[in-house]
Amino acid sequence: MCGYYGIADKGNYTDIIELLLREETQNINRILPDNVFPKRTISSQQNSYPGLQSSVPPVLFKNVENLGQYGCFVAIDFETADYGRDSACSIALVKVLGDQIIDRAQFLIRPPRRTFEFTYLHGISWKHVANEPKFHELWPQIHKKFEGAEFIAAHNASFDQSVLMACCQNADVSPPTLPFQCTVRLARKTWKLRRANLPTVCTFLGIPLKHHDAASDAEACAKIVIAARQNG
């Protein structure tokens, strides 16, 4: 996530995710010309996702200012089943130390609902995840991947961060208290790219990509951070 930071004392994940969605909408509105799509707006009704009431205090993260040259970070990517941010059906995590990838992991997740709206993007449907673990069952393995990391990287970080928070909320676990690096903003800042979606950045940097495959997207995100580090 970029822009909001600090720790929310009280409240629920719906409020936090609404902030993330509003930022994502503002980013899209800055990119898309008016004659292509009308400006998107987010209403409170659109943000009423199932299962977002929580007793777990949410955390807001500040965008990373200093990437460091040798520090450890984890790049993540989620794929979701439907419009609810708690509907993760796949997650991939790529751990980097310095400029070397030292660990990769990918998990299929059984989401809280059988509805799949985005099979056409990622190829995952209910039959692929019906017998897979739920997020709370995978959390010990996922959480372990963040050990030793200084920050989390994601492309369009507000989306992946809000999915992580919603899934942690649903699982009644605390999300990792690590800052996020948004590689959309990083690519714009480092290489002055006007368009900074993942396929465009990967083409510019010569990074192989199978878009909407969580493992490929997470590794591409990691390589963007590595390239930015090497760029100085």
Counted domains in the chain: 1
Beta bridge partners of 75: 94, 153
- Domain with 127, as residue range(s), is 6-231
The reply to whether 204 falls in a domain is yes
Whether the Cβ atoms of residue 92 and residue 205 lie closer than 8 Å to each other: no
DSSP 135-178: HHHHHHHHHHTTTT-SEEEETTHHHHHHHHHHHHHHHT-PPP--
Residue 78 clears pLDDT 80, i.e. is over it: yes
Residue 216 lies in a domain: yes
Would residue 106 count as lying in a domain? yes
Q: What is the pLDDT of residue 65?
A: 61
User: pLDDT per residue over 103-137, tens digit each?
Assistant: 999 999 999 999 999 999 999 999 999 999 999 99
Q: Write the CATH number for 217.
A: 3.30.420.10
1 within domain boundaries = no
Q: Which residue has the tokens 């760029």?
A: 231
Query: Which letter does DSSP use for residue 114 in this model?
Result: S
Per-residue model confidence as pLDDT tens digits over 217-228 = 999 999 999 999
